[in-house]
Structure 1
Amino acid sequence: MTLPDLFIEHDQRQALNDEFHARPPVPLESPQLISYLAMHHAEDAPDAALQHLLALGKLLERPIDSDGRHSLIDFGSFQLKWELHNEFSSYTFFRKVSHGEGLDQPTSALAVVPEAWLRSMPGKLIVATHVELRSVAEITPESVMAKLSPTGNQMVGAKVADGAAWVFTDFLFEKGFSRFLIIDVSLTRRQAGRTVQRLVEIETYRLMALLAFPVAKDVGRTIGAAEQRLADLMDRTGSARNPEDERSVLADLTTMAAEIEHSVARTTFRFGAARAYHSLVMQRITELREQRISGLPTFHEFMERRLLPAMNTCVTMARRQEDLSSRVARNSQLLRTRVEVELERQNQELLAQMNRRAKLQLHLQETVEGLSVVAITYYASQLVQYLAKGVKHYIEPFTPEGITAVAIPVIAALVAVGTHRMRKHLAAAEGHS
């Protein structure tokens, strides 16, 4: 009975386990020539590298079965290990040679690869490396050390794999290729494969990490100018004399904040990738298990002296950029608070003016209501007088003038009470609304 018969299996369980075992080193025997190419494909279609690989299979009549991420193909005269990474695709060519072949007449694994296919590789070349895996019977460490000139370029070397091999390089480009020499003393096939894989990964991740260095220098120039701008804006903030000046400074700060955030968004990935690549470089160097060769710096020392300062620059620029963004945000918030306080003060003054106007309007309204009572009383009393004159023969001994005089206070009281009740009714209706 199998596990799927007992349990519901996660959809990605098998794929995750396959990925864990996906990129083992290729077992190698000396002598062997290895050429490694890495093509940066940021602007190319995602499947362009795979389609180019399939084209090589058709060209050499060797069908290729690939999952789209990695393949190891034996073409007879050479082997090709292809891997697709996030930012680049790598091609490692392995070519077996006979004892002593290529020592007098320099050659490489690329000599047997179709040149037209190499020329049409998608992407831009970022890493090109030749690795020679030679037995100690072909090249002795002493012969390599004897050729080192005390005034020449600095050579980097170390014993690796607990002394099972010697590795030499200068990390310089010769005809566009960096070069590594591995002298096999007692490597097993798998040790040889792991050593080659670690060396080409060190070279790859070293250059990929350094992609952030030009960005860091550009950011450094931008940050320097931005810091001066921020200082000038703070001086303007201190000398601002009215809200218009403060709003002008706030607008400039907002524009500056947008520019800095754009720079952060543009560089965050590159700086983060540089940290990750640098970590991988140092990890692969640790895995080499270096032993010092007298008179030569080890790989770890060379990277500490040459690569680490560039990486520290990238870290510093990223930190300065984040710090500048925070400072601009804080200053913007302080200035915005000043503007808001001033606006609140203006609003309070406006409310006080409105309150005074409302009181004045109330007094005017009360005055108008008083005049209205007088006017209504006057006209009502005239009506009473007209009525009294019309029936003056029936109201004797009372006269129209006497009746009008008696009616005036009664009319005034009724009008005043009616106006008061109307005002209370309107106020109650306004309160409910």
Structure 2
Amino acid sequence: MTAFREHPLRQRLNDEVHSRPPMALSGAEWISYLAVLHDGGDAATEEAHLHQLCGTLGTQLCPVIQGDHWVMEAGDLRLKWERHNEFSSYTFFRRRQPGDPLYTSALSALPADWLAAIPGTVLVATHIELRPAADMAPETVLADLAQRGDTVVASQVADGAAWVYSDFQLHDGYSRFLVLDDHLTHRQAGRTVQRLLEIETYRMMALLAFPVAKEVGRFLARAEGELADLMDRMGEARSTEDERVLLTRLTRLAAEVERSVTRTAFRFGAAEAYYALVQQRIRDLREQRIAGFPPIDEFMERRLAPAISTCLSVARRQTELSTRIARKSALLRTRVDIELERQNQELLTQMNRRAKLQLRLQETVEGLSVVAITYYASQLVTYVYKGMKSMTGGPSYEVITAIAVPVIGALVAISIRRMRRALAAEEEGLH
């Protein structure tokens, strides 16, 4: 191959579309499945637990875990482990033996203490019995189910190549499926089983948001009532202080709603994504209706769709409430700002009036200053002239004082006016 620089993620991204392939199944199989929420557990703990199983079963070669997919074979028992974002899945396959009891499972071949010590909490536990249609006629199963009168989901899948039966109820802690293989290929059988398990898993993962939606719904009812009360009080507010109190309460309510949005956004988004996966897996089954029994698609639309619609409705309602609160907060803040601007305008008007009064007072003081300076300057001239008259003679000092007073006053007034003009010009230059 021509040498070139490869992107460091090229191989990983290419392998991603080939990861988690379905197991090839042939003949009769017992299949047991567990979906375990991580609850803070890491991949290393799960890997150590898987290697412990290898030692317990006496498997000579325990596969090396690469990525998030792992397959182990020990005689008739096979284990497929996958790690996802929120949960890990354990799928156990065991060939059906002629002497097996009617209600058995692949878990019967595993140590009970190892099963009990699986890291995390189990959310989904399912048994699937895969049998050839030649061993158990589909018509006989349908007739038996019709006589019992239980609510059972039944349909033909893979374009009529197999039959699927389930009631989606928990029996001794496990949901159960019966798959009758008419003419499935080995890979088709594996894909059919995997799709059923994924439908069950993603259904439960999507429903994790339903209790959250109920809790948030109660909170939203209270928050919407409080918002309506605040809007009524906003119309009754008569002072800036009243509006400030309302703005404080509205800000606190906005913080509570945003905290709820942050806490639940992932759960509601995940519910929508998981539900989309459920719908896709159901379409992949290519169901055909059996007269008198609802197919999986109809069952999910009737039972699961309303719950997911509730979750999405609460999520939208929560987002809309956050938007409404933000809009009302902006409106109230605008009212407060306008009132503050009005008060500031009044304050500036008062300051302007005071400045004019101060200017008039300053002009009065300036007139008195001219008189005072003229008086003291004329006295100095008089004292100087008295000393000079004793040596040179001349007019009396009263005459000299009378002449000096207007001259000195005019000079002082002109000097003060020039100083004021210079200060005014300097102030205009700064602006």
Tell me if both proteins adopt one fold, taking TM over 0.5 as the criterion: yes
After superposition, residues 30-429 of structure 1 pair within 5 angstroms as 30-62=27-59, 63-99=62-98, 101-102=99-100, 104-149=101-146, 152-393=149-390, 396-429=393-426
* TM-score (ref. length: structure 2): 0.96
Q: Which amino acid aligns with 1:228?
A: G
Q: Which amino acid aligns with 1:26?
A: M
1:25 matched residue in structure 2: 22
Decide which moves more: 298-307 or 360-369: 360-369
C-alpha separation in 2, matches of 1:313 and 1:297: 23
| Cα distance, 1:30 vs structure 2 | 2.0
**Please, which runs of 5 or more residues in structure 2 have no aligned partner?**
none
Q: Please say if residues 128 and 177 of structure 1, whose CA atoms lie closer than 8 Å, have aligned partners that are also in contact.
A: yes
Deviations 1:273-313 (CA, angstroms, capped at 9, x unpaired) = 00111011111011111011110000000000000000100
| Cα distance, 1:147 vs structure 2 | 1.6
C-alpha separation in 1, matches of 2:7 and 2:171: 50
| Cα distance, 1:318 vs structure 2 | 0.4
Q: Which amino acid aligns with 1:130?
A: H
Deviations 1:172-207 (CA, angstroms, capped at 9, x unpaired) = 000000000001111111110010000000000000
**Please, which runs of 5 or more residues in structure 1 have no aligned partner?**
none
Q: Which amino acid aligns with 2:254?
A: A
Decide which moves more: 144-153 or 346-355: 144-153
Q: Percent identity?
A: 59
Decide which moves more: 362-371 or 149-158: 149-158
| Cα distance, 1:150 vs structure 2 | 5.5
C-alpha separation in 2, matches of 1:150 and 1:422: 115
C-alpha separation in 2, matches of 1:156 and 1:399: 136
Q: Which amino acid aligns with 2:91?
A: T
| Cα distance, 1:153 vs structure 2 | 2.8
C-alpha separation in 2, matches of 1:255 and 1:188: 62
Deviations 1:210-267 (CA, angstroms, capped at 9, x unpaired) = 0000011111111011100000000110100100000000010000001000100111
| Cα distance, 1:53 vs structure 2 | 1.6
Q: Quickly say closer, same or farther: Cα 1:240–1:151, change in 2 above 3 A.
A: farther
Q: Please say if residues 133 and 183 of structure 1, whose CA atoms lie closer than 8 Å, have aligned partners that are also in contact.
A: yes
Q: Please say if residues 77 and 112 of structure 1, whose CA atoms lie closer than 8 Å, have aligned partners that are also in contact.
A: no
C-alpha separation in 2, matches of 1:134 and 1:151: 22
Q: Which amino acid aligns with 1:9?
A: E
Aligned length: 428
C-alpha separation in 2, matches of 1:36 and 1:56: 16
Q: Which amino acid aligns with 1:361?
A: Q
CA RMSD of aligned residues (A): 1.5
C-alpha separation in 2, matches of 1:68 and 1:51: 14
Decide which moves more: 295-304 or 363-372: 363-372
Q: Please say if residues 50 and 68 of structure 1, whose CA atoms lie closer than 8 Å, have aligned partners that are also in contact.
A: no
Secondary structure, aligned partner of 1:126: strand
Q: Please say if residues 130 and 178 of structure 2, whose CA atoms lie closer than 8 Å, have aligned partners that are also in contact.
A: yes
C-alpha separation in 1, matches of 2:58 and 2:394: 142
| Cα distance, 1:46 vs structure 2 | 4.3
Secondary structure, aligned partner of 1:271: helix
| Cα distance, 1:137 vs structure 2 | 2.1
C-alpha separation in 2, matches of 1:111 and 1:407: 129
